[in-house]
Amino acid sequence: MAGESQEIRLGELVAQGALAISDGYRVRNEELGPSGIPFVRGGDIGDGWIDTDTVDHIRPEFASRVRPKLARAGDVAFITKGTVGRAGILRLGQPDVVFAPQVAYWRVLAPDRLNSRFLFYLIRSRAFQSALDGVKTHGAMVADYVSISQQLDFAFSFPSLPVQRAIAHILGTLDDKIELNRRMSQTLEAMARALFKSWFVDFDPVRAKGEGRDPGVPQPLADLFSDRLVDSELGEIPEGWEVGCFGDVVEQLREQENPLSSSDVLFSHYSIPAFDGERWPRAELGESIKSQKSRVPPGAILLSKLNPEIERVWLVDVQPRERAVCSTEFLVLHARAPSTRSYAYCLARSPLFRQQIEALVTGTSKSHQRAHADTVLGLSAIRAPAPLVKAFDKCASSLLERTLACRREIRTLANVRDALLPKLISGDLRLKHAERFIVEVR
């Protein structure tokens, strides 16, 4: 494969022992548990990343069963059923995983011929996505699907290994920066949520004061906490606090928008698929958005009422004068004073709230169930004193704003990467020209 690019069928690479292509494992319920080998579903694959911190794992006693299906660092995976084509790569340091059957993964067996990261970018290229579109099952009643045998029939042009490595380095530098920002965003948000849990769920300062221990916060702040817990309908809560409902914390914004009436306007479209994927809105002209949507103003929070057992709470980043809309499957929420957006967001993701909203799903079939807005707003919520909410917001809002800044940088880097990718894969852009972008990123 040295020299000029060579077009070759994937099935030939497999037959030559240079590449392995496999699908996931059809797991049984009894094989799943809270620990063991991470079981990765399509929803755990995002914009180039694979989340291995999964809820379900293959239990240790069944490890021998799944050994032939173990995926490891360097393997490239993409969704083959449903949201076909969304891809990620297992990075160094991530554990071996088992993928669900709706995921295929590719493994380089001959590193002297193929570069695994180049394969990842090949899968994300227009050529590969067009190949998928040409063969995948279409239809309203059947989910899109691409089989292993169809993948083996794909043929692509592979440059020499040095060129593969150079392309992978250029695009990989951008993706590494994206991954760094993604982890930073997760860490900052986790810090805000941990603070919320300590103050408003576990009541750590209250318990510490009641037991004569240091509450762990500055004295003026410690004075805002009581030193005693009392019974309530939600269990023990700090003395002086009240039990109310979620609607006391947020109000639902109900303004609607018909994008078709503004066909040439560019909208930021917050949809369920966008949340499940990269978690940023799609830029779409009004003419391509076919149904009525809800308007999303700056400072809003989106909460999905579709299949409420799936946690979809979106801290959106809408700018002034931006035309933003969302699926009517989302409730558009705004914090009521004295509550704040950071407080309302962390509350909507807190354990007690999640338990309540998940309990709204009843019956054996949980597909496409919806919670009513009034029911969600009526869920029980503890009402903390306004000074404590204000003190929390002073800490948490800066953390959450920094998460949004990280996401904005991710989006900018991703746009650069996505612009370079097709030109590099096709050879239309010379490597030395693309390297100028990398110098700026560093």
Q: Is the dihedral angle over the CA atoms 126, 88, 113, 70 positive or is it negative?
A: negative
pLDDT tens across 357-399, in order? 988 875 545 557 889 999 999 999 999 999 999 999 999 999 9
Residue 310 has pLDDT above 90, yes or no: no
Give me the half-sphere count of Cα atoms (radius 13 Å) on the Cβ side of residue 47: 24
Is 147 exposed, middle or buried (CB count within 10 Å of its CB: 0-12, 13-18, 19+)? middle
- Minimal CA–CA distance to 376: which of 262, 289, 249? 249
Do 6-158 and 242-383 come out as alike in CATH topology? yes
- Predicted local distance difference test score (pLDDT) of residue 425: 84
pLDDT tens across 67-117, in order? 999 999 999 999 998 888 889 999 999 999 999 999 999 999 999 999 999
Q: Please, which pLDDT band fits residue 139 given cuts at 50, 70 and 90?
A: low
* pLDDT over 90, % of the chain: 77
- Predicted local distance difference test score (pLDDT) of residue 442: 56
Which residue did the predictor score with more confidence, 433 or 154? 154
Residue 155 has pLDDT above 70, yes or no: yes
Class (C level, CATH) for 6-158: alpha beta
Domain borders along the chain are: 6-158, 242-383
- Cα(153)–Cα(10) distance, rounded to whole angstroms? 6
Q: Please, which pLDDT band fits residue 426 given cuts at 50, 70 and 90?
A: confident
For domain 242-383, the CATH architecture is Alpha-Beta Complex (3.90)
- Does the pTM of the predicted model rise above 0.85? no
Peptide bond into 385 cis (omega under 30): no
Amino acid identity at 175: D
Tokens (6 digits) for 138: 């279409």
Is 92 exposed, middle or buried (CB count within 10 Å of its CB: 0-12, 13-18, 19+)? exposed
